[in-house]
Amino acid sequence: MSQPKNLGRPLVPRLRFPEFRNSDEWSSARLDQIISTITPPKKIQTAEYMSEGKFPIIDQGQDAVAGWTNDPTSLIESDDPLLIFGDHTCALKLVNQPFAQGADGIKIIKGKSVSSDYLYQFLCCFPVVQEEYKRHFSILKSKWVTYPKLECGEQQKIAKCLFYLDEIISAETQKLNALKSHTKGMMLQLFPHFDEDVPRLRFPEFQQTKQWEPTTVGQIATFKSGGTPSKGVPSFWNGSIPWASAKDMKQLFLDDTEDHITTSAIDAGAKQVPTGTVLMLTRGMTLLKDIPICILNRQMSFNQDVKALLPKGEVDGRFLAYLLLACKQRLLRLVDIAGHGTGRLDTEKLKAFVVMLPQPAEQQRIADCLSSLDGLLAAQSQKIKDLKTHKKGVMQQVFPVLNEVQV
C-alpha cells in the first residue's frame, strides 16, 4: 500500500487538548513498523477449555474470555497491555493481565512507538472490516497509523479520554441489562404459568376478581396474511407506506420499516393493517431460535412470512403482544421445519393455541405496566446509542485523517 499524504497540511488532529496545541506535528507509519508480535509458549485447544480456572483463555471469538485454564506454562505475561487481533474474525481486544492463547487465529500485538492503549482506540476508530472467513492480519499490518510522540503524553491523554467514554457506555449498558432482567421477571410474574389460572403477581385492584379464562389465539384475534408486491414493477416500490418483513421486527413497537411501497401497490392488492395490529413472524430461519413479535405504531403493509393479528372485541392489542411474548417458549415448540431448513409456525396450530385471558381492565393495567418498562428500555437504549455516536465523533476529531495519494 502506498504511503498516504496529507496534501501539505500539518499532521495534527482537529481537536487537541490545550496543553498539546503548540506541540510537534504527529507522525505516521505503517502498523507493522510500530509494533511487534508475541508468540505464545503454547496454545490451548478448544476441547481443553475449562468453565472455571485460574487463568483466562483468549481466542478470536467475540467474548472477552473464551474459557479458563490452570496451566501456568501457557501464560503470556507483559508489563504493558497487549492487543489481541482475531485473524479471521477481526475481533479486537485489549488485555491487561496474564492469559493463555486459545486455539489458532489470533495475533498478539505490542506497540513500540505507540502505546497499546492508544493503538487500541485508534484501531477501534479505523477497524479492519471482515470480508469473509480468511486471514486479515496482512490487511491490519498495512494500515497507516497517525500518532504523537509517545514521551509527550498526548497518546496517553487521548486513550484515557476515550476509555472514560467506554466506561460510561459500559455502565449504561449494565443499567440496560438490569432493566431487561427486571422486565423479563415482571413478564414471568404477570402472566399465568402453564396450567395455572391466575398469575403469581396480580395488581391489588384485581386480586379479588375472577380468575383468568382459557381461550385460543384464534378466538381473540383475526388473522391476515401479507404479500410482496412484484419487484418487477418499479412503481410499486420506494413510496411512503411502510412494508414490514422479518428484518424490521427487532423491537416490540414498530414505527417504521426499511422498505416502503406505494399506493399503486396497495391498489394492486397489497394489504394494510391499522395501528395497534400485532405482527408475528411465521416463516423463516429466525423461527428456529426466536419468534419475533411487534406492535404497529402506525398503519403498515407486510410480507408473506408475517401474520397480522387484529385484536377482537375488547382485547387490548398491547396485551395480546405481551401475552404471546410470555408464551414464546411454548410457541417455539410448535415450530416445524419446512423446505431448505426454514422454520414454519402453522397458522391453524397458532389459532388453536390455548392462552389465559383476564378481563379488559386487567389487560390494560398489565399492558400499561409493561409498556412503561418498554419505554424505559427504549430510552436507555437510545442513551447508549447517543453515547456511542458521541464517542465516534470524538474519535474522528482526536485522530487526524490522512488523505491517501500515490507517492
pLDDT at 407 over 60: no
Domains and CATH numbers, the chain: 27-147 (3.90.220.20), 213-357 (3.90.220.20)
Residue % of the chain over a pLDDT of 70: 97
Q: 259-261 and 300-302: which strand pairing? A: unpaired
**Is residue 203's pLDDT more than 90?**
yes
What does pTM read for this prediction?
0.85
Choose between 104 and 208: higher pLDDT: 208
**Measured distance between the N- and C-terminal CA atoms of the chain, rounded to whole angstroms:** 10
Query: Across residues 234-259, what is the average pLDDT?
Result: 97
Task: Tell me whether residue 157 is exposed, middle or buried, using C-beta atoms within 10 angstroms of its C-beta: 0 to 12, 13 to 18, 19 or more.
Answer: middle
Burial of 296 (0-12, 13-18, 19+ CB in 10 A): buried
Residue 353 has φ and ψ, to the nearest 5°, of -65, 125
Cβ neighbors of 389 (< 8 A, separation 6 or more) are: none
Q: Which residues pair with 302 in a beta bridge?
A: 244
Sorting pLDDT into bands at 50, 70 and 90, what band is 255? Answer: very high
Under the banding of pLDDT at 50, 70 and 90, the label for residue 133 is confident
| 403 confidence band (pLDDT: 50, 70, 90) | low
